Structure 1
């Protein structure tokens, strides 16, 4: 177990990676199905909420989950819960806004390259959690991880997760957004992070 100031960094890294996957790929994706199967079998107290959530996912039709993924993460003409930070932090509510550029610069300064093979904003919620996981995996300074949360993720993610809960058609995504919000609050408390007070436009 890797600990720093009494904080279990291995657990933090694992959960960032798991939530990153669940918010970036469809729940019906093969990797996510493997994760869900593993979490469902984990009966430890810490993971019990996720174990219950896995039962919810398994009780819903794949078509319902895929439809929800399209609605929430790809969208048609209207995005009801955009997963990109700059949509919330930019006055024009655009992707690739100034906050995306600042976050991209932050990643570069600290040696993280997120290449998904697609031209997409790095400030997608799931991708940002992957970055958290990557920093922890590479044993980056804890202050860097805290800065990612305080300056780039926490200022907008609670509003985003509220919108996911509000607009999701499936219980799976409603509950997942709730669990992710609880996890972010726990990280904020454990690491003593004060989110930057940035104005939200959505």
Structure 2
């Protein structure tokens, strides 16, 4: 199947888009007291260029992990740890579980599981680097 497959697009729309979506892709929807401005300030302070799109979107946070890995100063692994510990890990398990539960296509269920595994591996690597 290609990414422009109508079933995948329809499933994506139902899962993540609009007020009636079944799985809101924003941290602020999953963590009480969380707000987008806090994430935006954190990422902006580290020099990450942002658009007008919500900074607490799951995809933006994954992009931020990659960006910080590539662009943070060598001694700033702390920024990555903060991103994971404060802005991603507290809600991503619940979010990805809901994606698996609500997705009607195998693609999005599989993507959720792969993403969960990748985040866990990255966090393990960060913790190992911190211990060294």
TM-score between the two structures when normalised by the length of structure 2: 0.85
Q: What's the CA shift string for 1:18-44, capped at 9, x where partnerless?
A: xxxxxxxx933xxxxxxxxxxxxxxxx
Is the contact made by 1:114 and 1:131 (CA closer than 8 Å) also made in structure 2? no
Question: SS state of the match for residue 101, structure 2?
Answer: helix
What's the counterpart of residue 120 of structure 2? 185
Deviations 1:83-107 (A, max 9, x none): 100001136xxxxxx4322111111
Q: Secondary structure at the match of 2:127?
A: coil
8 Å CA contact 2:13–2:21 kept in 1: the answer is: no
Task: Give 1:173 shift.
Answer: 0.3
RMSD (Å) for aligned C-alpha atoms: 1.9
Q: For each residue in 1:95-122, what CA deviation from the matched residue of structure 2 results, as whole angstroms up to 9, or x when unmatched?
A: xxx432211111121111211xxx4311
Q: Deviations over 1:150-175 (max 9, x none)?
A: 11111111110000000001000000
Match in the other structure for 1:121 = 54
Deviating runs (4+, > 2 A) in structure 1?
A: none
* Structure 2 gap segments, 5+ residues each: none
* Count of residues in correspondence between the two structures: 125
Structure 1 partner of 2:3? 27
The answer for unaligned runs of 5 or more in structure 1 is: 1-25, 29-61, 92-97, 194-202
The whole-number CA distance in structure 2 between the counterparts of 1:173 and 1:128 is 18
